[in-house]
């Protein structure tokens, strides 16, 4: 009788380990989905930031507050680097910067983005050079919403 009250039986240990394995197997997919969801949120935020900077550049160029880009660009920047380096303000020696840095694509781990010019097709994956009208992720795969990352 005394021996039985000192510890666990083999059956109790097997049941405990089985329950822990079941719980662990449920937590791992949730953690993976959490990481993926976080990257997707970051991708959305980065795309919004880039597109907002492009739109601000276009507005400033249209209002002739910054040195205008070439006429064939229709007021859009020639590259993403101009958004970081800044555009000269009209009548001043200072520059207007639109981004601190080009954001990193969370799925690629690099600040590389696909670009579309004003003359490209809306779903084009090749940049026609000249102006940056839109940006998209070059990351392969499909988001949790069923839409490919390149279409975001």
Question: Between vectors from CA 127 to CA 143 and to CA 49, what angle results, nearest 5°?
Answer: 50
pLDDT (average), residues 68-97: 90
Q: Is residue 67 part of a domain?
A: yes
In the predicted structure, residue 1 carries a pLDDT above the cut 80: no
Model confidence at 111: pLDDT above 90: yes
Does position 4 have pLDDT exceeding 60, yes or no? Answer: no
With respect to residue 1, please indicate whether it lies within any of the assigned structural domains: no
In this predicted structure, what is the pLDDT of residue 3?
55
Question: What residues have CB less than 8 Å from 109, skipping those under 6 apart?
Answer: none
Inter-residue long-range contacts of 89-92, CB under 8 Å, 24+ positions, other chains counted: 89/65, 90/64, 90/65, 90/66
Asked if residue 31 is part of any domain, the answer here is yes
pLDDT of 130 over the 90 cut: no
CB 107 within 8 A of CB 117: no
CA 46 to chain centre: 4
Q: How much is the pLDDT for 83?
A: 94
Q: Is residue 3 part of a domain?
A: no
pTM confidence score = 0.77
Dist. CA 144–CA 37, nearest whole Å: 8
pLDDT, residue 5, reads 61
Q: Which two tokens stand for residue 106?
A: 């969370």
The domain tally of the chain equals 1
Q: Does residue 137 form part of some domain?
A: yes
Q: What is the pLDDT of residues 56-73, one digit of tens each?
A: 999 999 999 998 888 888
Domain assignment present for 2: no
Structural domain boundaries enclosing 25? 9-151
What is the C-alpha to C-alpha distance for residues 142 and 48, in angstroms, rounded to an integer?
19
Better-predicted residue by pLDDT, 135 or 123:
135
For residues 121-130, give the mean pLDDT. 79
Residue partners of 130: CB distance under 8 A and separation at least 6: 70, 72, 73, 78, 117, 118, 119
């Amino acid at each position: 009788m005394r021996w039985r009250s000192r510890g666990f039986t083999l059956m109790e240990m097997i049941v405990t380990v089985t329950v822990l394995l079941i719980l662990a197997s449920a937590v791992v997919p949730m953690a993976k989905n959490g990481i993926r969801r976080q990257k997707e949120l970051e991708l959305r935020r980065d795309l919004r930031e880039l597109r907002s900077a492009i739109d601000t550049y276009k507005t400033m160029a249209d209002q002739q507050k910054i040195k205008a880009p070439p006429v064939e660009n229709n007021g859009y920047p020639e590259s993403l680097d101009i958004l970081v380096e800044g555009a000269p303000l009209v009548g001043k020696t200072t520059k207007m910067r639109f981004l601190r840095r080009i954001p990193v694509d969370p799925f690629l781990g690099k600040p590389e983005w696909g670009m579309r010019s004003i003359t490209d097709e809306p779903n084009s994956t090749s940049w026609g050079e000249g102006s940056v009208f839109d940006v998209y992720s070059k990351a392969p795969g499909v988001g949790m919403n069923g839409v490919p990352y390149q279409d975001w």
